[in-house]
Amino acid sequence: MGPQESETGSDKFRLLVKFSSNTPVFGCRMFPIVRVTRHQSFLQLEVPSHELTFSWYREQTSSSFDREKVRCSVHLDMLAKMQCEECVKLNLSVKGSYHCSNSCYVDAWEKHKVYHRYAAETVSETLSNNQQEVRNVKSYGPDKYWPESDFVVGSSSDKNEKVMEPDGKIWIKVGSSKSYAPTEHDIGHHLRLECAAVDCSMGTNITPVNITVTDPVIYPPAHPPRSTIKCVWKSWNSGLEAHSSSDLTFSVLSYNILAGIYAIGNRYSYCPEWALSWEYRMQNIINEIIEYDADILCLQEVQRDHFEDLLKPALAKCGYSVLYKTKTKEVYTPNQYTIDGCATFYRHDKFKEIVKYELEYDKSALPFVEALEPELKKAGCFRLLKDNVALVVILERVKNEECFDGNQPRICVANTHIHASEKFPDVKLFQVVSLINGLEKIANSKIPLLICGDLNSLPLSNPHSFVSKGILQSVPNKENDPLGSDGIEEQQRRKMDSETMEPIFTNFTSEFTGTLDYIFFTVNSLRLESVLELLDKEALGSGLPSPQWSSDHIALMGSFTFTLERSSYQGQRLLPCLPSPWRTAAAR
C-alpha cells in the first residue's frame, strides 16, 4: 500500500496526516507529515496558534514476537540472541546493537565502547516523557540471552495505556513523540498514530483527533558486507617510503546518497515503495556508512532537512564532526522548500579543521557571462549559472606521540557534485576546471590532496581526463594496477573496465549504468593501501536503489598513507590564499 493522507476536520479547520510510506520498517524512525488547513469556506480565518500532540500504539494480537526475523549485526546469517543495553539507551543504530552470541558481543565490544563514548558526549539531557520510552530489555549483558518468553519494552504491557475499539481490537501505547522507531515487538503488527491540534490559548482541540493506521511493520533484508582489497604497488611512489606508524594511515569514503527530493516519480519504479521512503533510505545509509568506519566521509546529495534531523546527529554519536555546503537554489516540495548539498565528515579524534573553502560554480561563471555580448547574456546565464558547489577543507592530524619536528601532517579534501545534465558537457568541464585551478594553489603548498565526488562524467571524458592527466591520478590507474593477488585481483578486475581500469559502474538505474564517481589523490604525497570491494551488477537485480542498497550510486572508499618526507610538513604550515569566488572560513 502506498502512502495515504488521512484527514479529520471541524467546521473550520482540517488536520492532515501523511507518511512517506504506509509500511513501517523495523528500526527506521517514522516522521509523519502534519498540516492544519482551513476549509474552503473559511479561508479568511487565521489558523489559531496550536500545538500538536502524538500518541503511538501497537495492535495487540495473540501472536508472539517473531524473533526469527532479527539477525545478528555482525554475522548476518545468524539469529540475534542478545542486544547491547548502552546502544539502546544512547539511541544508537538499532541494527548494530544485536549479536548472535556472547563471543560475538565480546569481539565487538571495543567498537561499542568507542561509539558509546561519542554518543554520550552528544547527549545534553536525559530522555523526557515526551520521547519514545527507553527499553529495559531483560536479556542485556555479556552473559544473558533472550528468555523463551517475550521480553519487555519499557514497562509491561499490562501497565501500558490501552485503547479498545468498538470491534474489540486493542491498541497498546508505545510512544508519545512526533516520531517513532518500530522495535522488534512491533514486527508483524499494525501501528496506530493519534494526532491532535490543541489551541494554545484555550487548551481545546481545534479539529477532531486524526487516527492513522499503518500496514504491519516489516523486517528489512540486510545488504551483504563489502570487504576491503589490499593494493600492491609496483612502480608508483618507488622513491618514497610511507611512515610506518599506523596513525598516519587514514580512510576516505565518497558517496552520493540520493537526496529524497530526487527519489520520486516513476524513475525508480522497480524499487518497493517502502524502500524508497527517505526514512528507510536514510537509516539504511547511516547503517552502511557506520559499517565502513572511514575516517573522512565525502557525501553528495545531502538534503538539508535530512542532514539536520538524522544524518548529522547520528554520525555525531560515532565521533564525526561535519562541514556542510548547500547548493545555491532551493527546490519546492509539497511540504516545504528544501535544498541538497555536500557534507564532509571527519573523526574529531583523528583530525581537526584548519581552514575551509567554499566554491559556488555560478559565481565563478559570472565574470564570463558578464563579458558576453548583450544578445548572448541570456543564453549564457541559462547555460553557465548552475547551482552546483564544492566544499574544500584542510585537515590536520590531531597531535600524538608520532609528530614530526613538532608538526602534524595535513590533508586537503575536496568534495564536489558537478552538474548532471548530459546536454551540458561544457558546463561540466568549466566547473571541474574552476575547481582544479583553485586546488592547484593548495597542491603547490605541498599539502596532500584528495578530490572526492560525483563528477557526472564518464571515464576518459573531458572532465575526467582534465583531472586524471594533470597533477592528480585517479583510483586506480591502468598503467600501474594497484590490485592485489591471491584470487582477489581477478574478482575485482571483472568489475572494472579493462580499458579505463575504472569501475564498470558507480551509478546503476534502469535508465543508465556507468561510472560517475571518483576519488583522485596526489601520488607524490599519498600511497593507496586498500580499496572497497566493488559490487557485482548481476547481483543487484533491476537497478539501484533497492531494499539492500539505498542509493542509486555505490560508495567508494580508499585507505591512504602519507608518503611525504618529514621536512615537507613544515611547508604545509603556509596556507594558500585562493582568489574570488572562493570563500574562506577563518582558520581554527
Beta partners for residue 15, in sequence order = 8, 36
Kindly report, residue by residue over 202-230, the tens digit of the pLDDT: 999 999 999 999 999 999 988 888 888 87
Q: How far apart (Å, rounded) are the C-alpha atoms in residues 547 and 284?
A: 9
Sign of the alpha-carbon torsion through 479, 483, 484, 486: negative
Tell me what pLDDT residue 401 has: 53
Side by side, the strands of the sheet bearing 50-60 are 162-164, 170-175, 50-60, 191-199, 210-213
Tell me what pLDDT residue 371 has: 83
Torsion angle of the four alpha carbons 373, 376, 378, 380, in this order, in degrees rounded to the nearest 10: -100
Q: How far apart (Å, rounded) are the C-alpha atoms in residues 25 and 7?
A: 23
Residue type, 321: S
The answer to whether 250 and 296 are in contact (CB under 8 A) is yes
Kindly report, residue by residue over 494-552, the tens digit of the pLDDT: 888 888 889 999 999 999 999 999 999 998 899 999 999 999 999 899 999 999 999 99
Tell me what pLDDT residue 354 has: 96
Q: How far apart (Å, rounded) are the C-alpha atoms in residues 71 and 107?
A: 17
Neighbours of 450 (CB within 10 A): 24
C-alpha cell at 88: 539502546
The answer to whether 415 and 390 are in contact (CB under 8 A) is yes
Neighbours of 199 (CB within 10 A): 13
pLDDT < 50: residue spans in the chain: 124-158, 233-246, 471-488, 567, 587-588
Sign of the alpha-carbon torsion through 124, 125, 130, 136: positive
Kindly report, residue by residue over 407-457, the tens digit of the pLDDT: 789 999 999 999 999 999 999 999 999 999 989 888 888 899 999 999 999
Rounded (5°) CA angle 337-343-348: 135
510 alpha carbon, distance to own chain's centre: 23
Cis peptide before 581 (omega within 30 of 0): yes
Tell me what pLDDT residue 487 has: 37
Reduce the DSSP state of residue 343 to 3 states and report it. Answer: strand
Residue carrying C-alpha cell 503511538: 56
